[in-house]
Amino acid sequence: MAPSKFILFTIYYFLITHCCFLFAQTAGYDIQVQTRFVQRFEWMPDEYALHYEVEIEREENGIYRRFLLEETENAFIQVTLPPGNFRYRVIPYDLFNRPGMVSNWLDFVINPAINPHITGFSPDIIYLGRMEKYTLSIFGNNFLDESEISLFMFGTRDVIIPAEVLILSDGTEAQLIFTGDQLAEGAYQVLIKNPGGLEASIAGVVVIKEVISEEIVLEDQGQAFNFYLGASYLTLLNIHGGEDWMTASGQYLSGAALRLGIVSSNFSFFNVGVEVVPAWYSFSKEAQSLLLECNLLLQKEFFSRKTAQRIAAALVFRTGAGINMDFIDPETETAFYINMGFSFFWFPVQRFYLEAGVNYSYLFGTENPAGRLKPFAGVGLRFGR
């Protein structure tokens, strides 16, 4: 074999065998990267000091023991200490290496640095609509009350600090509360930073404006009122007063009513309106009464979750007055009454509603005034928005 080929063969054999050896040695190792924290201690320099000696003691079972003794020519040192309670002092040495005035002990605490971790968030999409506040929940572990949590929009340098942050006691969930004017459409990243600088982040939070169908927008622009047309079954419970026949055996009498109402639809909290209610009661074969009342309405609407425009339910308070006339016996005295009550609307579909409620009426203008409860239930249609 030529000398040159022998040299090449020797080099090739050396590389192959040593590389295999290195791979065999490192194949079973798990390399971990740990964050190293550096603490810096400074003091006022002494113009006559040649160098300084810094003594650090650590508390163990209530007793301080020497943990570190370090010499430096600077007026500071940088060390890495574990969590615990410590104290330190500085001893200056002059040009003759004689110790000067020793400083007092200074206590300090090294807290453990906790690494946060984010596993997910909810909801995936935040819809901007009529709400004043929006909540974003993040899930993970090692969330602290001292954690700094912020929101970053991709493509900008804007940093959004939540108006309020709620950390659960076990540190596995944080609720971030934002106001409507803090958020804009876009994609965001959540960043959490714990004391000590350890941080974690998660991306994918999307904020978009709530989509309102064109049909509903047109209705909102063209309709300032809703019209209600309904029919109700009524019954009557005498509370006090009344005629002799209004005894316990004569309670829960049959009746029916029509309800014609108009209510505003563009107020932000309560809507107001009026209603006219013609009704009929059958007290007995000899006592048939017609009622006609007019009420002022105060309505609070509740919206469904699917769209902020779809009314799912409403609560109505009413007060007014009416007249009670007996059309079987014209000689029977006509009674006037005042009325107040409330009812609950439920809209299984957008136009059709079910209603249930109760009114209290106080009859006066007769020899024996009476107070009556009038429960009712019915159905109807809403025209408008």
| Mean predicted confidence (pLDDT) in 312-320 | 91
pLDDT for 56 equals 94
Residue 47 binned pLDDT confidence (cut-offs 50, 70, 90): confident
Tell me how far apart the terminal alpha carbons of the chain are, to the nearest angstrom.
Answer: 100
| Mean predicted confidence (pLDDT) in 23-42 | 53
| Mean predicted confidence (pLDDT) in 281-307 | 76
Scored b (16 or more CB within 10 A) or e, 28-57 reads eeeeeeeeeeeeebebeeeeebeebebbbb
Q: Per residue in 366-379, pLDDT tens?
A: 667 778 888 999 99
> Would you say residue 229 has pLDDT above 90?
yes
What radius of gyration, in Å, describes the C-alpha atoms of the chain?
41
pLDDT for 280 equals 85
How far is it, in rounded angstroms, from Cα 323 to Cα 255?
15
How far is it, in rounded angstroms, from Cα 361 to Cα 324?
11
User: 344, 317 in Cβ contact below 8 A?
Assistant: no
Q: Tokens standing for 233?
A: 């079954």
> Would you say residue 247 has pLDDT above 70?
no
Higher pLDDT, 4 or 228: 228
Domains of the chain and CATH, by start: 39-110 (2.60.40.10), 117-209 (2.60.40.10), 214-383 (2.40.160.20)
pLDDT for 34 equals 47
pLDDT for 234 equals 87
Q: Per residue in 81-114, pLDDT tens?
A: 888 899 999 999 988 889 988 999 999 988 777 8
Residue 251 binned pLDDT confidence (cut-offs 50, 70, 90): low
> Would you say residue 38 has pLDDT above 50?
yes
Higher pLDDT, 146 or 15: 146
Is the backbone of residue 114 left (phi > 0), alpha (psi -120 to 50) or beta?
beta
> Would you say residue 142 has pLDDT above 50?
yes
